[in-house]
Amino acid sequence: GDQAVQAAARYAAAFPDNRPALRLLAGSRAIAGQWPQARELLEHLNRRSGGRDVRLLADLSLAQLRTGDAQAA
């Protein structure tokens, strides 16, 4: 849990524009139960992708549900 989040955070910090790095960090945060942080990252990625990534939209919907925002999901 925590080690994966820390490793993903270091990688994303080293490569802040790297989409896979940010997806890895969002996934690590979700696995660790850090849904608000995961949601923030996924929303950022969704804005950058123009809402065309179906997998990202599915993960974002789950994060929205886990943060209590069923309407957004």
What are the pLDDT digits (tens) for 46-58?
A: 999 888 999 999 9
Distance between CA atoms of residues 29 and 22, nearest Å = 10
Q: Which two tokens stand for residue 67?
A: 């943060």
Q: What is the mean pLDDT of residues 36-49?
A: 95
Distances, alpha carbon 34 to alpha carbons 16, 49, 50, 53, in Å? 19, 23, 24, 22
pTM of this prediction?
Answer: 0.86
Distance between CA atoms of residues 51 and 13, nearest Å = 24
CB contact burial 39-50 (16+ within 10 A = b; e otherwise): bebbbebbeeee
Could you read off the pLDDT of 5-33 as tens digits, one per residue? 788 889 889 988 889 889 989 998 999 99
Residue 41 has a pLDDT of 95
Q: Which two tokens stand for residue 66?
A: 């886990």
